[in-house]
Structure 1
Amino acid sequence: MGKKILVTGGTGLVGRGIEFAALSDKREDEEWIFLSSKDCNLTSMDETRKLFEMHKPTHVIHLAAMVGGLFSNLRQNAEFFRVNMLINDSVLNCCREFKVEKLVSCLSTCIFPDKTTYPIDETMVHNGPPHSSNFGYAYAKRMLDVQNHAYRQQYGCQFTSVIPTNIFGPHDNFNLEDSHVIPALIHKCYNAKRDGTAVTVFGSGTPLRQFIYSHDLGRLMVWTLREYTETEPIILSVGEEDEVSIKQVAEVVAKEMGVENLQFDTTKADGQFKKTANNAKLRQYLPDFQFTPFEQAMKESCAWFVENYEKARK
């Protein structure tokens, strides 16, 4: 019997990356179903049950979440916590009820403690409170790991999770009011090139981040679904040596978009200075995995936005 793989939140940045990877390494025994928020209100247990009854998945990749950038999180911590807890409860409980063989949920590096030593690894998830700027979202995501272990202990469910670092690529959310740093910079540079104006980067540009291209993450998440058997989460990330500053990111985006005038607004918050993650566990499993070079991935991402400006989420 073949696999029927349901992907919640499947039309967003990560879902499109998974779709790209699944099509690039197509298996005859796999049927992939990519869902959007229009297909089901996952905060409703009843609607989620109807969705599972209709599709009868054997495997699930759970990406659906209420997400936003730094400033959205600062304004709506309660809402981010409540909505994401409801979504996760509906999806995990239905995976149990419908006897899904394997569930892979997507976490975030923001779940790690704010005060910690670096690099962070999979053993440190619950060692202290997350950063205060997005604690609602972070705790809701952190609870997915708790739920995975509880469902494994009580029901024997094969539930696990991945922790990607900062993701970017085609099909991102480029809304300037509610997006992460790279899509916001790409959109700002597009507008600046069109209007002949300067680009203002929020913050000092000094924070450090590891970025993973959505196509690379897609390949790794397909591998996780097919091969990874632990309940413990696994960090999916480039190495520590590939960490870059926001200033470096802005300069690469500006170069690809043909913009020269960058300004940094230091009155805006920087968020966490660093969240360096250790990908040693991933490398134990996949020592030869090749990540797309950052500048090449950025070139492809900028080109996609320019070519798809009219239909991009913005």
Structure 2
Amino acid sequence: MVDTVLVANGSRLERDQLVLVTGGHGLLGKTLQSELRAQGFENIIAPKRNELDYLDLEATRAFFSEHRPHVVFHLASVVFGLLGNMENQVRAIADSTIINHNVFLTSAEMGVKKIFFAGSVASYPFPYTSLPLREDMLWQGVPHAGEFGYAHAKRHALAYLELLRDNTGLDFFYGILTNLYGPNDRFDDAHGHVIPSLIRKMHRAIHDGDPFKVWGSGVAKRDFMHARDAAAAIIAGMDQLSGVANISSGESVTIRNVVEALVKAAHYKEEIIWEVDKPVGVPDRSVSNEILREIGFRCSYGLDEGIRETWEWFENHILSARL
């Protein structure tokens, strides 16, 4: 049963708590660390993969035992875009489930006060019975076949956290994240997410003369959220919520809208080739953010501003960006 109960004061965040961020060096991890510091959190640890492999239970236990974090923001997982999820179904469910088990079990064993988990809108059942997607719809069917492994790893995490809460008292906030983008993303045009892959393709079109190709006809709709808005929403939710809530912009835009914003940001004048025979995944997805709005959260970024900032960041960091 999906729970969206507000947290009592005893579960609120305290600025002097030791915070662990897993997966802290990707798009959301770096942005979350920056936002935590901006909000006054100074005791933050975020080991890189070569410092701690969360697939290793004993290494995870040893790290928690040494540092004793009070709060965990658990972002680490095996992540791909649409094509990557389709091609890596078994790895997506196997590795992510092992990582989650190791972090959850150790958090409960070591007395962590509260844990955030980065869920995904890919976990919602498809086809959708109605839109926008609401939290109480999560268990009403099975996810889209193209993201089946990835989505079920995320679903399993919620069941695991609910059992731990009931059996050990570990409090949690499970955020169902929409499509994120922003600086420090992984700009992989073959396996990455929509906006960073389009930015990489645009960069190649401008600087290498490649044709700018976009999968689909542009009519598919998504909810896109800037990573800074997502980070602020996660912190607000950890401070005020327990259980499950969507983390989304609450607005649905077409892929054509995204391409138009990118064309404007890059001052691109050449032809756009729409590859209508390519897969687009779910044709239409909008995501309610009613619970976030009830606690006072509002997004700061519009699509044009967010894409312009991300494009400019990539142009200025092409040599160091993750590709």
TM-score bracket relative to the smaller structure: over 0.9
Distance apart, 1:177 and its partner CA: 2.1
AA paired with 2:275?
D
1:275-305 CA distances to partner (integer Å, 9 max, x unpaired)?
A: 2111111111115x24211111111111110
How many residues are treated as equivalent by the alignment? Answer: 307
Distance apart, 1:39 and its partner CA: 2.1
Q: How does 1:195-214 map to 2 (within 5 A)?
A: 195-214=208-227
Residue of structure 2 in register with 1:262 after alignment: 272
Distance apart, 1:206 and its partner CA: 1.4
Distance 1:133 1:51 in 2: 35
Query: Unaligned regions of 5+ residues in structure 1, if any?
Result: none
Query: Unaligned regions of 5+ residues in structure 2, if any?
Result: 1-13
Distance apart, 1:164 and its partner CA: 1.6
Distance 1:249 1:221 in 2: 24
Aligned equivalent of 1:179, options 192, 198, 208: 192
1:156-213 CA distances to partner (integer Å, 9 max, x unpaired)?
A: 1112211121000000010222211100110111111112342001122211001000
TM-score under structure 1 normalisation? 0.94
Aligned equivalent of 1:150, options 160, 163, 170: 163
Distance 1:205 1:134 in 2: 20
Kept in 1, the 8 Å contact 2:54–2:99? The answer is yes
Distance 1:270 1:97 in 2: 42
Aligned equivalent of 2:71, options 55, 59, 66: 59
Decide whether aligned partners of structure 1 residues 275 and 134 sit closer, same or farther in structure 2, where only a CA change above 3 A counts. Answer: same
Residue of structure 2 in register with 1:42 after alignment: 54
Q: Matched residue of 1:267: which SS?
A: coil
Moved more, 192-201 or 149-158: 192-201
Residue of structure 1 in register with 2:27 after alignment: 13
Kept in 1, the 8 Å contact 2:249–2:299? The answer is no
Kept in 2, the 8 Å contact 1:186–1:302? The answer is yes
Is residue 320 of structure 2 the alignment partner of residue 311 of structure 1? yes
Residue of structure 2 in register with 1:234 after alignment: 245
Distance 1:313 1:297 in 2: 19
AA paired with 1:259?
Y
Kept in 2, the 8 Å contact 1:3–1:31? The answer is yes
Distance 1:233 1:201 in 2: 34
Residue of structure 2 in register with 1:23 after alignment: 37
Distance 2:202 2:33 in 1: 28
Kept in 1, the 8 Å contact 2:233–2:292? The answer is no
Query: Identity, % of aligned pairs?
Result: 29
Residue of structure 1 in register with 2:146 after alignment: 133
Kept in 2, the 8 Å contact 1:4–1:31? The answer is yes
Aligned equivalent of 1:215, options 218, 222, 228: 228
Is residue 110 of structure 2 the alignment partner of residue 101 of structure 1? no
AA paired with 1:92?
F
Kept in 1, the 8 Å contact 2:173–2:237? The answer is no
Distance apart, 1:79 and its partner CA: 1.1
Aligned equivalent of 1:293, options 274, 284, 302: 302
Moved more, 188-197 or 92-101: 188-197
Across the aligned residues of Structure 1 and Structure 2, the Cα RMSD in angstroms comes to 1.4
Aligned equivalent of 1:165, options 156, 162, 178: 178
TM-score under structure 2 normalisation? 0.92
Distance 2:255 2:66 in 1: 44
Distance 2:299 2:277 in 1: 38
